[in-house]
Chains A and B, each alone.
Chain A
Amino acid sequence: MRHHFLGRAVTAGVAALALLALAGCAPAGDQPDKKEGASLVVDMSFDVKTLDPGRSFERTGTLVNHVLYETLLTFNGDDVSKPVDGLASYVLSDEDKVMTLTMKDGGAFSDGSPITVDDAVFSLQRVQGIAGNPSFLLDGVTIAKTSDTTLTLTSETPNPTLAYLLPNPSLGIINSKLLTENGGSVDSDDASESFLNGTSAGSGPYILESYDATSQIVLAANPEYRGDQPAYSRIVVRNVIGETQKLNVQAGESQVAIDLNPDQVAELSADELNIKSAPSRYTIYMMLNQDPSISTITSNPDFSTAVKSALDYDKILALAGKGAERPGGVVPSMFVGTLPTERGNQFDLAAAKESLKASGYAGEEVVLHYANDVTVSGIALQPLAETVQSQLKDVGINVTLAAAPEATELDNYRAGKEEMGIWSWGADYPDPQNYIAFAPGENLGKRAGWLAGDAERVERLRAAAQAASFDDRGAAYEELQVALNEDGPFIALFQPVGNIVTAKSITGFTSNSVWTIDLASIE
């Protein structure tokens, strides 16, 4: 009797489970991959905090805002070397101080209202006034309406890079009337962020259907868009970790995966998926603090030279996987002014030992800081730090590793308290001017205890690079990087690869270092 009861109970349990499974069972992998009227599913790891273009400066927000908001200037596809007309055309004055933008006719926001010069002025002044993360893009720039079709951007000093900044989606043009009605303003009283997180107010090829900062962002084609309608009428951008992204795109549940690291890509078959690898906009670098009050060891120029010669850059590059590159300096390979690898630091064990001897180093511990909870284009910093430790040990430098979560270590780094550190720098805009941050007295320079007046040659070359004409800028920035390599506290290690994997049904798309992938270009 007892066994009969148990048997019935187990049978009933199994049957219930089977029914539950059958009731909810839905075949996976049969998601639509047709294009007309179809949804496109894009998987990526979210870092989005807001979709307010004036406040958003994270990768996910930039990717989405690029198709929600048009900008005054833009880039043509993958090419970020030359800004082209967007909502406006531009002329830069001879001394590179005044940019005059002329609005084009026929533009309309998603509610059908025309785009005017007032909208452009409002949008740019708002970025400055609300002082969000992207406000630095327009530091020192005065924005003024000069006629019903023109506006000027006047810089205090020559600003040839302005044209490279304007395509940034953070400078997208917003429907000023709509935004003002919903709490928008051009100063710190602005209260329209929550509105923009629910409704897009732009003129791009898509409009915002729904936004959840943690799970997914849904976009629908903008019927008022004046350009060609995008191939997909609806796009779902989902927040998914890399390993799951890989399985989803293999199974056909998603059509695009954006955050696969080199190891994951190596496991994929090019016969089944499209794989596009390109150097990312990140530079991974090492820093040696030049402030003697932080470290008398790393601030010693001979010790610094020894470290630069002691690193086996090819072995370090191998850690970054296939497709990663090693520019000779901090400027990435696809930007004007990038330094060829052969002009960068080179591995030379004998020279390293000689410099170390000259430094008087006697085996003291030096501490190498890094964040252990982040990856840069899928590259974890832990194995990198271990490799650096091992290579420096070969010349007799004793390195202690100090890992911490990024949120806590960042504070330490920005306060200039790290003795040595490994960090990454992602270009805010595709121009070598972005890397002036590494100069003495600048943002990153100060973190390394490298202050204005500390390096005469570097500062002279920096001034020359910033003043160089369009044609001469590349060579000038190369010379600046040679000096940075020799005299500075930074050691460029490598530039990781960025991978975009798509289903075979995707026949084309453009991508670049500013907005990662142009969702509207996906066919």
Chain B
Amino acid sequence: MHPLARYLLTRLGIGVVLAFGITLVTFTLANLVPGDPVQAALGEQASANPAIVQQFREDMGLDKPLPVQYVTYLGNLLQGDFGVSVQTRTPVALELQRAFPATAELATAAILLSILVGIGLGLMAALRRGKTVDHVIRLVSLLGISAPTFWLALVAYYVVFYQLRLLPGSGRLSPGAVPPPNVTGFYTIDSVLAGQWATFGDALSHLILPGTVLALSTIGLLTRFARSSVLDVLSLDYVRAARAKGLPSSAVTLRYVLRGALVPIITVLGIAFGSLLSGAVLTEKVFAWHGIGEYAYNGATRLDLPAVMGVGLVVGITYILINLAVDVLYGFLDPRVRRA
């Protein structure tokens, strides 16, 4: 077997074990939370009626002992059944299918913008170390990291949408617009696949503002990592040798400096992407984006345990896959990792 294939299979195997661990941890934690999900789901009058409470408990399988509930949950999970939301009585898998692509599209836009701007600024700051540009970039990146996302989102919404009227406001599409046929769940991609260019423009215009807000802290982080990583590489012998050979500046920067600096940056990127996927709740709230962050928040505050466990599992698996992708990228970027 090819070493890369063996490596991938091993990592996937570990991933399956980790996913099982995630189900156990989320199930245990979800059930340790004080409060009764049935009381949280039923109204004032219904919760006072023991017959209704009992029927609801039975319908949701909450009358069974916890180990039985867990085994049932695992068995259903193997068939792709994430359970039913205690609040909406809708299959959690269906709700995740709607919420996860919304956040994934937002996070992907944010990470692409972060890569473009963050690495660019980091590179520029490193190449002009100690000069005014470097100081300005470092200050701006610090502001990006420190500014609270919720505040940034509200300010951006107020200035760009309300005052300047440059971009549209709430949601993923204009009010009442019909989403494109669902293929990936990304409205931008699905509208292109369907040839719906007006919908594509609408989806893209709605993506820019929340995507930028979400990207700002990642841009700050990436800028600082990229700067420090590039500075480390600039002083290495092979870069000096490349310059001594008379290679053009752009070739040295792209083929030697940037490539050498990318390994630690990729690590940060992987972590940042995972954080964007699971931590966009505040941005989602302001922009009425209704992604997985908001879904997780609502699930947690309403004691909707199947929803919370579903989110935990999806986010956990996403982290596992991102880490796998990062490890594979290491191999492409650094021959020493490949040989090892």
Contact = CB atoms under 8 A, between A and B. Distances in A.
Q: Do A and B come from one complex?
A: yes
Interface of A: 1-2, 4-6, 9-10, 13, 16-17, 20-21, 23-29, 31, 39, 41, 43, 49-50, 57-58, 131-136, 188, 193-194, 197, 212-216, 218, 234, 236, 238-241, 243-244, 247-248, 250-251, 253-254, 373, 405-411, 414, 425, 428, 437, 443
A28 B162 CA distance: 8
B70 interface: no
A410 B302 CA distance: 11
B52 A23 contact: no
B15 to A, nearest CB: 29
Contacts of A50: 88-89
A256 to B, nearest CB: 12
Given A244-B169, A254-B175, 18 more contacts: A1-B249, A2-B127, A2-B250, A23-B201, A27-B165, A28-B168, A50-B88, A131-B49, A133-B43, A214-B98, A214-B99, A234-B176, A236-B176, A244-B286, A405-B301, A406-B301, A407-B35, A414-B39
A240 to B, nearest CB: 5
A1 B250 contact: yes
B217 interface: no
Interface footprint category on B: 35 or more
15 contacts: A1-B250, A2-B127, A9-B120, A24-B208, A26-B167, A29-B165, A41-B176, A50-B89, A194-B90, A214-B95, A238-B171, A247-B157, A248-B169, A411-B35, A443-B45
| Chain B at the A interface: SS class | helix
Interface stretch (B23-31, B60-68, B220-228, B287-295): B287-295
B176 A39 contact: yes
Contacts of A218: 176
Nearest to A137: B45
Interface of B: 33-37, 39-49, 51-52, 55, 87-90, 95, 98-99, 116-117, 120, 123-124, 127, 154, 157-158, 161-162, 165-172, 174-176, 201-208, 248-250, 253, 285-288, 290, 294-295, 298, 301-303
Contacts of B250: 1-2, 5
B39 A251 contact: no
A24 B207 contact: yes
Contacts of B168: 26, 28, 253
Contact of B204 (A24, A234, A247): A24
Contacts of B166: 21, 25, 28
Contacts of A238: 170-171, 175, 288
B47 to A, nearest CB: 6
Nearest to A428: B45
B65 to A, nearest CB: 20
A418 to B, nearest CB: 14
B170 A410 contact: no
A24 B288 contact: no
A411 B89 contact: no
Q: Closest 10 CB pairs between A and B? A: A24-B204, A24-B205, A2-B249, A408-B35, A5-B250, A136-B45, A1-B249, A133-B43, A236-B176, A407-B40
Contacts of B154: 243
A193 B89 contact: yes
Given A10-B120, A23-B201, A244 B170 contact: yes
B34 A243 contact: no
Contact of A5 (B37, B253, B288): B253
B157 A244 contact: yes
Contact of A6 (B127, B157, B161, B287): B127
Given A49-B87, A194-B90, A250 B176 contact: no
A57 B95 CA distance: 21
A408 B287 CA distance: 28
A17 B303 CA distance: 42
Contacts of B162: 247, 250-251
A25 B205 contact: yes
A253 B250 CA distance: 47
A133 B46 contact: yes
A253 B175 contact: yes
A28 B165 contact: yes
A183 to B, nearest CB: 13
Nearest to B289: A215
Nearest to A253: B169
A414 to B, nearest CB: 6
A240 B43 contact: no
Contact of A408 (B34, B170, B205): B34
B202 A215 contact: no
A380 B126 CA distance: 48
Contacts of A31: 174-175
A244 B288 contact: yes
A39 B52 contact: no
B70 to A, nearest CB: 21
Contacts of B298: 214
B208 A21 contact: yes
A237 to B, nearest CB: 10
Given A28-B168, A49-B89, A194-B90, A239 B175 contact: no
Contact of A251 (B52, B169, B295): B169
A131 B51 contact: yes
B38 to A, nearest CB: 9
Contacts of B208: 20-21, 24-25
B167 A28 contact: yes
A149 B41 CA distance: 38
B302 A407 contact: yes
Contacts of B116: 13, 16-17
Contacts of A239: 288, 290
Nearest to A1: B249
Given A24-B208, A26-B202, A49-B88, A407 B301 contact: yes
A222 to B, nearest CB: 17
A408 B201 contact: no
Q: Which of A6, A193, A254 has the most CB of B within 10 A?
A: A6
